[in-house]
Structure 1
Amino acid sequence: MVQPVARSFYKETSFGRIKGYRYGDADAPAIVVQGGISASGRLWKPDKSGWWQSLHPVFSDLDDVQVISFDYFGGLGGSDCPAIPLTVQQHSEAIRQALRDETSDLQAWVGGSFGGVLGLQFAADHPTELTHLTAIGAAHKPSVHSALLRYFQQALIQRCGDDQSGIILARALAMLSYRTAEEFEQRFNHADDAFEYLLYQGEKLLKQNGNNCRSLFTHLTPILNDYSIDPTRVQAKVQLIDFHNDAIAPPSLVTELEQLLPNHTGRVTIETPFGHDGFIKNVEQYQSALTHFLTESQLESA
């Protein structure tokens, strides 16, 4: 059982200093877990306020594993913010370098959103180093629709005379892109209420992180507009989890990924009003499938 208590550490990589978190016994086989661009490696906390707290029940059922997670360069945690944004490939390589001293037994990678993209990149670049990958709400390239939404986020950051207003509006637009029209119809009686909710989300991000969160839109959001991963190079067993009405990783794009992967071993597509945020909101719907996949990885590495 992996307890929701992390021990943090720092590692020097060729791209800067990265902050990591370890859950469990350092001698146990490792599973890397990475979330979205705003994620911290502090996935779980005893007070249940971790970034991806809803995922912890999956790992509380697993024995004899450790979980390792990292803050992103240019993200909201304790890793460096390079002067020049890293590419998706460089982010993946930085994690690989940091893992070298932390484990000699990488069992699996579980990634949601940006973390899933990085897992695909890692598996494509180093096909012999990863045997099991779960990509949740992620694809091998950006959808045109999601890239357009990110372009507008970046334009708000660049063109707002008030930096804080730019951050608030960019985050509000990002939140809109993560959810669905269905949710907004069910949740709000009027567009004014929905708009206030989105602005609140932007203000919340700014209040919790200060102007430092601007780097989300200068260092992380832009690199998701032009990445391209060759799925045919991925030799790991890959489990795909995706969501209807996901504007970021639409099912049509995940189907293309599924058809190109040499060793695709299962797919779960979930109907949810939360769209892309289903990877956080709908863990219960894919928990059983993910647990089965990770248990399989344990048996194969034993």
Structure 2
Amino acid sequence: MAALQEHVDPGDTDGAAARRGILPLHDFRLACGSLLADGALAWQSWGPQRAPVVVVLGGISAGRDIGTWWTAQCGPARALDPRRFRLISIDWLGGSGESSGPRDDREFPPVDSIDQAHAILLLLNHLGIGRVDAVVGASYGACVGQCLAGLLGHRLGRLIAIGAAHRASPWALALRTLQRAGIESATTKHGRRDALVRARQLAVLGYRTPGELEDRFGESDPSSGVLGWLVAHGERFASRFSAASFLCLSRSLDHHLCEPETIAAATTVVAIDEDLLVPLALAREFVRRIGSHAELVRITSPFGHDAFLKEEGAIATIIQSCLSAEIPA
């Protein structure tokens, strides 16, 4: 049985200590019907406990330590400043973090984006948080954020959804199916790891754009240029992520389906014109279906889907603008 654990990091000199814990999820029923009898959700709360609450969620490889994967936006003097906000984040169910997920690369029950949202809702209630001032989600985190917004209703002030819509695009679904195919057909542990490397390499190509790769590697030796770049990405990912976790969360992205009409909070949907995974037309449909309390903000970037990580200034400006409207200084 998962034990309730909480830990406060030392060095709380600026009011921005990170509190980390494991929330037991007893008899947690997944959308697929499977039961996690002794589930667990790993979480982090960063910032003063009485500060405005902002839930921060990233891609499938992101976790509760937002100060490592989104350093451009999360930290002192950043758009998401833990001295001003209480930042709540989790390790994904089904991922390779400390939440319940595949262990020893074994398969895990299917996890839906609504399952992640239900777990976060349990966490917020456990922490005694009634009002959530904002949910900021990017990529998979924006899919989960949509579902969480639907569950929270008027308890949520604002949703900021970056690089995601209410359903998967056919192109993204097809690309992820090809990524998983090699892993699913591998018969050995070593073969699954090699297939995971290749899957990540293919995923990275979908995150970027042909123009960005041409500008960056066009005249270079392929072995030390684009091919070396792909090798580094694949190996780095496989060193910290299991094949079973990748399969679980990749499928979760494919099955994401949100009813935009259920979102009551003021919503900002950030679309990247060059995003291969989330076409602009789909983002527009998402905003239209939410209603008059939603807005579409477009940015242009050669980094495509990865703009939420790479376009640091533009993303910071959007987040700061939304939060200042919702939470006056």
Compute the TM-score of the two structures, normalised by the length of structure 2. 0.83
Moved more, 262-271 or 182-191: 262-271
Structure 1 or 2: more helix by fraction: 1
| 1:274 pairs with 2:303 | yes
Determine the structure 1 residue equivalent to 2:235: 203
Q: Deviation above 4 Å: which 4+ runs of structure 1?
A: 2-5
Deviations 1:230-260 (A, max 9, x none): 1112111001112122122221111111111
- Does residue 171 of structure 2 align to residue 171 of structure 1? no
Q: CA deviation at 1:3?
A: 7.1
Q: Note the aligned Cα RMSD (angstroms).
A: 2.1
Give the TM-score of the pair, scaled to structure 1: 0.90
- TM-aligned CA distance change 1:105 to 1:250, over 3 Å: same
Match of 1:109, SS? strand
Counterpart position of 1:235? 264
62, 75, 79: which one aligns with 1:39? 62
- For residues 80-139 of structure 1, the C-alpha deviation after alignment (integer angstroms, 9 at most, x for no partner) is 116312111111111111111222331110001111111111122342332210001111
List alignment gaps of at least 5 residues for structure 1.
Answer: 45-49
Q: Which moved more, 1:215-224 or 1:234-243?
A: 215-224
Summarize the Cα distance change of 1:195–1:64 in structure 2 as closer, same or farther, 3 Å threshold.
closer
Q: Mean alpha-carbon deviation: is it higher for 2-11 or for 148-157?
A: 2-11
Q: Is the 1:92–1:119 contact (alpha carbons within 8 Å) kept by the matching residues of 2? A: yes
Give the deviation of 1:289 after TM superposition: 2.5
Query: Within the alignment, does 1:54 sit opposite 2:66 as a pair?
Result: no
Q: Which runs of 5+ in 2 are unaligned?
A: 1-13, 29-35, 103-107
Measure, in 2, the Cα distance between the counterparts of 1:236 and 1:36: 22
Relative contact order (C-alpha < 8 Å, sep 6+): which is higher? 1
> Deviation digits for residues 242-299 of structure 1, max 9, x if unmatched?
2122122221111111111124443321111111000111131132232121122224
1:286 match: secondary structure? helix
Letter in 1 for 2:61: S
Question: Which of 100, 111, 118 in structure 2 is aligned with 1:86?
Answer: 111
Contact 1:157-1:217 within 8 A present in 2 as well: no
Instruction: Give the 5 Å matches for 1:33-182.
Output: 33-44=56-67, 50-56=68-74, 57-60=78-81, 64-81=84-101, 83-102=108-127, 103-161=129-187, 162-182=191-211
1: CA distance, partners of 2:63 / 2:244: 14
Contact 1:73 1:81 (C-alpha < 8 Å) held by counterparts: yes
Q: Secondary structure at the match of 1:58?
A: coil
Whether the 8 Å contact between 2:57 and 2:141 is mirrored in structure 1 is yes
What percentage of residue pairs aligned between the two structures are identical? 29
Query: Displacement, 1:160?
Result: 3.2
In structure 2, give the amino acid aligned to 1:142: A
Counterparts of 1:255-266 in structure 2 under 5 Å? 255-266=284-295
Looking at structure 2, the residues matched to 277 and 3 of structure 1 have their Cα atoms a distance apart, in angstroms, of 32
Is the deviation greater in 85-94 or in 107-116? 85-94
Which one is further off, 256-265 or 167-176? 256-265
Equivalent residues of 2:269, 2:297 under 8 A apart: yes
Inter-CA distance 288–165: structure 2 relative to 1 (3 Å threshold): same
When structure 1 is superposed on structure 2, of 222-231 and 262-271 the one drifting more is 262-271
CA contact (8 A) 1:12 1:98 kept: no
